[in-house]
Amino acid sequence: MRVLYSALYYSLLPLLVLRMLWRSRLAPAYRRRLPERFGWFPARRDIDLPAIWVHAVSVGEVLAAGPLVEALLRDYPQYRIVLTTTTPTGSERVRALFGDRVFHVYAPWDLPGAVRRFLRRTRPRLLLIMETELWPNMVYCSRAAGCRVVLANARLSARSARGYARVPGLTRQLLQGLDVLACQSSTDGERFLTLGLPATALVLTGNIKFDLALDDDLRTRAASLQRVLAAGGRPIVVAASTHAGEEELVLAAYREVRDAVGDCLLVLVPRHPERFDAVFLLCQQRGWQVWRRSANTDPMPGDDILLADTMGELLLLLGTATVAVFGGSLVARGGHNALEAAAWGVPIVTGPDMENFAEIGGRLRGAGAMVQLEDPARLGSCLLELLADPERRQRMGAAGVQVVARNRGASARLLALVAQQLRALE
């Protein structure tokens, strides 16, 4: 099955390259460093040192893996950390968080030749794949090179499970190539077992995203920014990680809020940087005065919307929020991680689609920290209810903080598994 899969991948390669070039019209970074996608890059200077390879697809996975990578750098100085991503935004986060403390390139496309070239240039002994970024040749070639493979912080939605089930032979072969699957929840674990994961490979560790820490510097910067944004005591609604089709819904809801309560600031954070200009124009067309975060100036009197057109600041901006709305849920995109707001004690509102974060959403909703709307059209009325009820907001925020605190510890359990796997290589 893997051979057929590889042949199909090779046949589609020209379309994949064209797609990258097409995306680069709006995001030029997609056409840069293309050789890395084929495993062509200068080998590590310290090639004699063994490596631990951490693969994190994009920004969310990089942020989730951040504390884990810091622990690996601290605990395993005899290993070089190789950290790969798939997207330019993920690459930017790696460089911002770790600089030259890790060896960073794009992950190779899942072609046998590209993966083998990557392995020869990095020589990993352990591969940690974050969440569900499973690729047959990545797993097979890594194992063939003597590298142990761990799927870390694994999750699998019902929708994704149905997709894997359409290719049962390939999926079973892929899952049987894992040494350990460290799973977020028993529900996710059952889905992996149904698809062919050996029961001996399954370990329930919990979700490392609950181990989010807000350091003193971040808290100080958030408090300072909040004083600027909340001038005159106005509330702040942060719409986080919005997708195409969601900004229209958010702006309609914001209109309802402004008509009813007067002054209020909307902080709008589009998910993808190539959409920043389009969202800016949309806000202007709707009659709003927009301040772009990238301008690096204080807001002007009368500014209605702060467009967060910078990278890596979502956690900071959520620390200023009165209420947070999470995108990816108002349209059918599976939602996004709302724990970043919960950690700040900020009340959370989402739309109906939170399939990709069902466990997190269920815990927050069950504790009363999150409102999940059945109809996105109700967003405006929901925001008005919350803004009019400070006691309810306080209860929701406190519940969110408790949810985060009660579920910490997955990172420590995952690090114990890493130590176990490295001992097995001795």
Q: Is the pLDDT of residue 126 over 90?
A: yes
**What is the widest separation between alpha-carbon atoms in the chain?**
67
161 contacts 183 by C-beta, under 8 angstroms: no
CB 156, CB 132: distance < 8 Å: yes
Task: Give the H or E element holding residue 132.
Answer: none
pLDDT band at 44 (very low <50, low <70, confident <90, very high): confident
Residue with the bigger pLDDT between 83 and 44: it is 83
Per CATH, 2-206+409-424 and 216-406 having the same topology is answered yes
Strand ranges of the sheet holding 202-204, from the earlier edge strand across to the other edge:
103-106, 80-85, 51-55, 124-130, 148-154, 180-183, 202-204
The pLDDT value given to residue 267: 98
Torsion angle, CA of 67/73/74/75, rounded to 10 degrees?
100
In this predicted model, what pLDDT tens digit does every residue of 254-275 receive, in sequence order?
A: 999 999 998 999 999 999 999 9
Q: Which residue has the higher pLDDT, 308 or 22?
A: 308
Which CATH homologous superfamily contains domain 216-406?
A: Glycogen Phosphorylase B; (3.40.50.2000)
Owner of token pair 């009363």 = 368
Which of 28-42, 361-375, 376-390 is the least confident region? 28-42
Residue 146: which of 172, 120, 165, 164 has the closest Cα? Answer: 120
**201: exposed, middle or buried (C-beta count within 10 Å: 0-12, 13-18, 19+)?**
buried
Considering only residues 419 and 1, tell me which one the structure prediction assigns the higher pLDDT: 419
pLDDT band at 425 (very low <50, low <70, confident <90, very high): confident
**In 45-157, where does DSSP find H-type helix?**
59-75, 88-98, 112-122, 136-144
The pLDDT of residue 104: 96
pLDDT at 388 over 80: yes
Query: Catalytic site residues?
Result: 61
Query: Domain residues of the chain, as ranges?
Result: 2-206+409-424, 216-406
Nearest-angstrom CA–CA distance, 132 and 160: 9
Q: Is 153 helix (H, G, I), strand (E, B) or coil?
A: strand
Between 373 and 312, residue with greater pLDDT? 373
Q: What gap in Å lies between CA 65 and CA 67, rounded to an integer?
A: 6
Question: If you average pLDDT over every residue of the chain, what do you get?
Answer: 94
All residues at 6 or more sequence positions from 49 whose CB lies less than 8 Å from its CB, including other chains: 78, 79, 80
Cα radius of gyration (the chain): 22
The span from the CA of 338 to the CA of 361, in Å, is 8
CATH label, 2-206+409-424, candidates 3.10.20.30, 3.40.50.300, 3.40.50.11720, 1.20.1260.10 = 3.40.50.11720
178 neighbors 151 (Cβ within 8 angstroms): yes
- The full DSSP string for 221-247 is HHHHHHHHHTGGG--EEEEEEE-TTHH
What's the CA gap between 349 and 383, in Å, rounded?
8
Stretch 31-37: mean pLDDT = 92
Instruction: Determine the pLDDT at residue 1.
Output: 84
The arithmetic mean of pLDDT across residues 269-298, rounded, is 94
**Which residues 6+ apart lie within 8 Å of 225 measured at CB?**
316, 317, 319, 320
